């Protein structure tokens, strides 16, 4: 029923920009905390950013503050992550995830109930 599909990843040079999308179906995006996570092989999935349900407050991990912007288009039921000034260390598989609980955005990946399949972001010169 609930489905999240990420897109927009690709190969980008350092300093470049891209926008990731997360199309949601089977639920109303605005009623969920929706987060972006990223993961590289051998490391735990890292919370990057989250936008809270209804109120729309946002948070970011320190390493992406000022470069990443999370937003959602409720009319399209789609989540976005606008990324600028990409760094090599941003290379990862990026996932979106949804939490239906009435609470602030959880910090850890295991608190999220629904996940997309991921989209690869590779930053290389």
Mean pLDDT by 10 residues, the chain (125 residues): 96 98 95 97 96 90 97 95 98 97 93 97 97
- Which residues does 47 contact at the CB level (< 8 Å), separation at least 6? 35, 36, 37, 61, 107, 108, 109
What's the CA gap between 55 and 85, in Å, rounded? 28
Would you state the pLDDT for residue 71?
Answer: 96
**pLDDT at residue 45 in the model:** 96
**Helix or strand run (H / E) with residue 112:** none
User: Phi first, then psi: what are they for 29, rounded to 5°?
Assistant: -55, -40
89, 95, 101, 100: which is closest to 115 by C-alpha?
A: 95
- According to the model, what pLDDT value does residue 88 have? 97
Q: What is the pLDDT of residue 78?
A: 96
What local confidence, expressed as pLDDT, does residue 60 receive? Answer: 97
- pLDDT value, residue 56: 78
Question: What percent of the chain is helix, strand and coil (3-state, nearest 5)?
Answer: 10, 45, 45
Alpha-carbon span 56 to 51, nearest angstrom: 6
Instruction: Say what the pLDDT of residue 125 is.
Output: 92
């Amino acid at each position: 029923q609930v489905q999240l599909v990420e897109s927009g990843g690709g190969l980008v040079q350092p300093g470049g920009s891209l926008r990731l999308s997360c199309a949601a179906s089977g639920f109303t995006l605005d009623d969920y905390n929706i987060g972006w996570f990223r993961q590289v092989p051998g490391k735990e999935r890292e919370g990057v950013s989250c936008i809270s349900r209804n109120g729309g407050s946002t948070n970011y991990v320190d390493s992406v503050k000022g470069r990443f912007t999370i937003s959602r288009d409720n009319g399209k039921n789609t989540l976005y992550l606008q990324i600028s000034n990409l760094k090599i260390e941003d290379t990862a598989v990026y996932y979106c995830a949804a939490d239906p609980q009435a609470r602030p955005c959880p910090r850890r990946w295991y608190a999220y109930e629904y996940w997309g399949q991921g989209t690869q972001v590779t930053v290389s010169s």
